[in-house]
Structure 1
Amino acid sequence: MSYKGYTGLPRGAVFVIVYIAMIVLMTNQAYLKGKMMGRMVTLTIVSFLLSCIPSVIVFGQSIYEAITGIQMYIFPMLLYYVLHKWRIDEKVIFKYLVAFTAAFGFFEVIQQYTYPTYWFNGREANEITGLLEERMGFWRFYLFGIDYCILSIMLCFGKILKKEGKQSHNYLIFLVCAVAIYFFLARKDIYAVVSCVAIGTLFYSKKGGNIWGKIIIALLLIGAYLFLSNAMTDLNEQTQTEMGESSEDFIRFIAADYFINSFSSSPLYYIFGAGVPGGTNNFLAHQITYLTDNMSIYQDDCGFVGYFSRFGICGIALQVLILIRIARNYKYLDMGLLMFALIQLEMSFFDFWGNTTRHLATWAIFLYLIDRNFENNRKNNNKNYGEYFK
């Protein structure tokens, strides 16, 4: 049993809401003056719009289909403007992220005990067995929103390093986030989080010392390693045994190669991408459907190459510039935010942040937090370079 909820507003209503909101939020950007990521976010949305050019000329979509297809990529990025316009406090954002993560983890865990009765899942059961995928002895439900959980744990990690607030409360939140991420049962997410917590801990050096925080985090990492080592080995062996040559990594490689070399030879495709299907009866939609149904090739499976296939070199270049801007201003950014950026970079070969609307919403929140953190630290002349990489 699976929860079947409200499917959303009619397509035409969504179209009107998205583009009216875009015009209202982007025409008067005085509230973005001096914001580090303001121009980058605006150019990202422009790159979405530019993908309509090859989408119409090369891939046979109508103008309406082209702009309808990209609307669900524009919509989550508008969250960046909404947060800035109302100057939402970072503590409020953190509170809601943690609440979501707690609910996410609760259903991931509780449904292990109620299965085969469950209410939330992101993939259908196997048509032959009628069962969901099983990993490490647990059922995998593929709940949507793992990026919010990862952002939550990195923000909490930053608070632990800075000794911000009540530490026992921070460690409890960290544990809740860790449970949620673990029970998502994705190797890349677990590896990325553990590695970045380790990196952040090793390179953080707060004036006055933070030795007990380091010791506790080190013990947590050792415990996580001891607990996960056998489980992750079993997971890797199980994946290889079950999937064989059709393993996830092999399929990702095939998909990436196809979208780089075989999807289209048009220069417009390489520059601006193919856009997003906004209908079902056009060449682009037929191509995507054929690839998924007959070749098991998915754009989302090949990380940043999938994003390139939609928005071209222009789209990829803008995301690289965002990372470069973060790296150049690391002196004014907290370690938790820097490590979240590193996690996204680590996973970009497999699960790029721009490939789905839920990932983009997390990215929009993250960029807003980057702006606020940079602004506050610079205003207070709080250069964190004295804390990092000593």
Structure 2
Amino acid sequence: MTHENAVLTSDNLTWPTGFRGYTGHGGLRDHGDDISIVASDRPATSAAVFTQSLFAGPAVLLSRRHATGRTLRAVTTLAQNANVATGRRGEENAAEVVRRVAGILGVPEGDVLIGSTGVIGRPLPMTTILPHFDRTAERGLAAFTAAPQDVARAMMTTDTRPKTASRTVGQARLVAVAKGVGMLEPNMATMLAYVFTDADVSAPDLDAALRRAVDRTFNCLSVDTDTSTSDTVAVIANGAAGPVDTVLFADALADLCLDLTLQLASDGEGATKLLRVTVEGARDQAQAKRVAKSVVNSPLVKTAVHGADPNWGRVLMAIGKNTDETDIVPERVGVKFGEVEVYPDEPEADTLLKLVDLMRRDAVDITVTLGIGEGEATVYGCDLSADYIRVNADYTT
């Protein structure tokens, strides 16, 4: 990264020039804000990627159509209800929400993206949502006083903390909000993550930068191997700060997405530790990612990390179950926890003690060397605790 891609803290974070935010309580949850809107006061270019789930929800299906124009300038999110598997009624409800938001903002419906996240199989409570939008419409843009942290908090479901990130490129700023801690192994996108920038970037450059960033960050994330029906990642650029170097912009966007990825991984449901797995020396990047995902997704590896149990053989198990990767030869494989090598040389007793200390840290790094080629990938996840079961066993009850 260059010094021009400065990192901003989340404290007192504000929107880039020309953007404003809104949050309110629409009755999706018992208490607290559960509806949010972020909008540009001027036309914008955009790019977005979505879940490939066969049960993609109405919000995703509608947003896919709107995103093809690459002119999105507003995002609305409904928390606590995914509005998935709700049939024609769900489609009509999602479209009505977009109509209401577009009316409040005075923009075309096709310029509004909608995200919906939470319980699957329940219709949206339109009897409380629509009156909420009526009241918001009466206030108009005067109601748009929410900061990025407020919007990120309104998007939360089982998240324990709001997730925001920002970067600068020249005179332009990038500000992002995200949510997601479970049902999380992205397939082309992940959870809900929105990036807003006042940089002037063409739609093709924006799309290329987003897809590169997603491939190296969000698509390298896994909490529990489950791909959501509602995953959406979008970036909206309104050009208010003028043009920027496209290479520096792409670097900043990728760095920002990595920041959010680490926040999501470390806040995984029931998580107590961040888990990073790097595979080096693979045939190519795709193989490296597959092997790394098999390690980060292994329940046995994740529980060993949770208990700081130096059971390094579980990593070999996770590598070895990639039976289609016939060019992986055990004699060429190496495994490290941090800087401590555990394979191929059998660890001594004092090495295992060092390993326990490493695994007690807030972040645990595992590196696998395959000895095949130059491919490399790092994936991100978390440990597996009893709290993951508690959160998901009681999710709707």
- Give TM-score, length-normalised by structure 2: 0.24
- Give TM-score, length-normalised by structure 1: 0.24
- Report which of the two has the higher share of helix: 1
1 or 2 for the larger relative contact order (CA 8 Å, sep ≥6)?
1
